[in-house]
Structure 1
Amino acid sequence: MGSINVRNNKLYLDFRFKGVRCREMTTLEDKAANRIRATAVLKRIEAEIQLNQFKYSHHFPNSKNAQKFDAYMPTGEGGVCAGPKYDLVREFVEQWLLERKAEWRPSQLRTIEDILALYVLPRFGDVVLNDAAERYDFTSPWKSIKTLPVNRKPVHPFT
């Protein structure tokens, strides 16, 4: 969740995009009406981020971060971010690690990187990706297959 802060009597937006903390200065002075406007803009930005439709340069065309993120994300039709396209598990894992690094302690990160390097990537690194189907609007062929029923005995713990 982002926030509105003040520096030199000007409002700036503070939010996270792709695991990176972004702070963008506005030309609005610190007044109640301007805070309401900035809050509305921040809510719109966060909604677009959630929907994977956020285009950094659309909101902040003169920002250094705009160039960085635009180089990172290809655009789809109409200038809306299409999201990164991955064909292999290896490509997805690399991007996933970049997005999640900030959430983990260094020891956790080393453990996860070791597990991926020793077990996952050697076996599945060159396999076509199917597990991130929900994340990138890819319809999985396994979606319509139902699991088999499992016969279970009823449990009566108090008898």
Structure 2
Amino acid sequence: MATINSRDGKLYIDFRYRGIRCREQTRVADTPENRARLERLLLMIDGQIKKGTFNYAHHFPCSPRVAQFEKLADAERTAGISGSTKLFSSFAERWLSEKKVEWRESQIETVEGIFNVHLLPKFGALQVSEISKSQILGFRKGLHEPDILKGRKLSPSRINHIMTYLRMVLNDAAERFKYESQWKNIKAIPIPRSEVKPFSLTEIMRMLKAVREDYKPYYTVRFFTGLRTGEIDGLPWKNVDFERRVIHVHQALVRGSIGPTKNSSSYRTLMMTDSVYEAMKVQWSLTGHRSEFVFCGRNGQPLDYRNVANRVWYPLLNYLSMERRNPYQTRHTAATLWLAAGEAPEWIARQLGHSNTGMLFKVYSRYIPNLRGRDGAAFERLLEAADE
């Protein structure tokens, strides 16, 4: 869907053409009159795209996209699109439109970014059936090289993520057009195991004692529930049951939008221990009557996790002279504390939203003692001992 947005007081339009997301900056100021003018322009562009008469260079002669679309047009004329297969760009557009119904909005945005930034510029003008294995490997090699302009390089995990969608498109095209897929014996780049750096109970107590009062409930809940950032930031009061002392995790905040949880097992109900229950009661007194969200800013909107991390989390670690660790370590901390307390793996997996205990043993194996607990009581005793 085409949209009109503003950047630095100037309007720009955002639309899709040939499966590619296009953003074109204008020189006009953000006023109601100018927005109305651009809305009329977008309606005209949309009509031309549907009729097949849209000329990118006519509307945006100075855009770098002009060369990209001219290259695609030349490739189509040379290859003869009526042949046995299609251009990568054409097939990718169709493939994306079919797959979108399976994905969350945040995933759609991520995948479109991968195609627009990486895959279409490299493979868009090529016949999908003629892309060779050497071209695929060369593309991956290029992703691995540092970006001179940005001064950084993509992580192995990010490269594998990009390559996953290239593999899916190429394999699907091979199946539909009945030729042998080029994707053979191409292995993923090894990914260094992410380091689990949980906080000790002593460190947690120091942090909760030193943190700003208005964020004490927030971090208490994070440390002692293992909620993901999107889950806690998108948590509404309607999903907090004080009577049954449970939290229903039914949604998450991802890139500023409320959507479903990460997967079906993440859609869960978790228990509130005494410390979490008391923190929630304090939070109710702060935001319960002014926002639908448990944790929110002064405007009642959900917290911006980057803003919170930069203004509260990292300054707190610096103030306490603690090792710099990302906020996700609160989730690792909850898991390791439950394990140290002797809670049952099945109970911990349910609290974390894992479908089984496999991930628990894989990530936290060195923290697992002789486990016998089953209901959070052992963890509660651990907290009581820390308070004495």
User: Paired residue for 2:25?
Assistant: 25
Asked if the contact 1:55–1:70 (Cα under 8 Å) also holds between the matched residues in 2, the reply is no
With the length of structure 2 as denominator, give the TM-score of the two structures: 0.26
Question: Which runs of 5 or more structure 1 residues have no equivalent in the other structure?
Answer: 75-81, 124-159
Asked if the contact 1:12–1:25 (Cα under 8 Å) also holds between the matched residues in 2, the reply is yes
Q: Using the TM superposition, give the Cα deviation of residue 95 of structure 1 relative to its aligned residue in structure 2, in angstroms.
A: 4.6
User: Paired residue for 1:34?
Assistant: 34
Q: Kindly, what percent of the aligned residue pairs are identical?
A: 32
Answering whether residue 181 of structure 2 is matched by residue 120 of structure 1, we say no
| Separation (CA, whole Å) in 2 of partners of 1:66 and 1:118 | 32
Which has the bigger relative contact order, CA under 8 A and spacing at least 6?
1
| Separation (CA, whole Å) in 2 of partners of 1:2 and 1:18 | 13
1:102 to 96, 99, 102: 96
- Change in CA separation of 1:71 and 1:109 when aligned onto 2, cut-off 3 Å: closer
Higher helix share: 2
| Separation (CA, whole Å) in 1 of partners of 2:176 and 2:20 | 28
| Separation (CA, whole Å) in 1 of partners of 2:176 and 2:92 | 19
Asked if the contact 2:19–2:90 (Cα under 8 Å) also holds between the matched residues in 1, the reply is no
TM superposition outliers: structure 1 runs of 4+ over 6 Å: 105-109
User: Paired residue for 1:142?
Assistant: none
User: Paired residue for 2:83?
Assistant: 88
- Change in CA separation of 1:52 and 1:108 when aligned onto 2, cut-off 3 Å: same
Q: Counterpart of 1:15 in 2: which secondary structure?
A: strand
Q: Counterpart of 2:57 in 1: which secondary structure?
A: helix
Letter in 1 for 2:81: Y
Higher strand share: 1
With the length of structure 1 as denominator, give the TM-score of the two structures: 0.59
- Change in CA separation of 1:15 and 1:88 when aligned onto 2, cut-off 3 Å: same
Q: Using the TM superposition, give the Cα deviation of residue 14 of structure 1 relative to its aligned residue in structure 2, in angstroms.
A: 0.4
User: Paired residue for 1:9?
Assistant: 9
| Separation (CA, whole Å) in 2 of partners of 1:89 and 1:56 | 28
Asked if the contact 1:101–1:109 (Cα under 8 Å) also holds between the matched residues in 2, the reply is no
Q: Using the TM superposition, give the Cα deviation of residue 21 of structure 1 relative to its aligned residue in structure 2, in angstroms.
A: 0.6
- Change in CA separation of 1:65 and 1:96 when aligned onto 2, cut-off 3 Å: closer
- Aligned residues: CA RMSD: 3.0
User: Paired residue for 2:59?
Assistant: 59
Question: Which runs of 5 or more structure 2 residues have no equivalent in the other structure?
Answer: 104-160, 181-388
Q: Using the TM superposition, give the Cα deviation of residue 111 of structure 1 relative to its aligned residue in structure 2, in angstroms.
A: 6.0
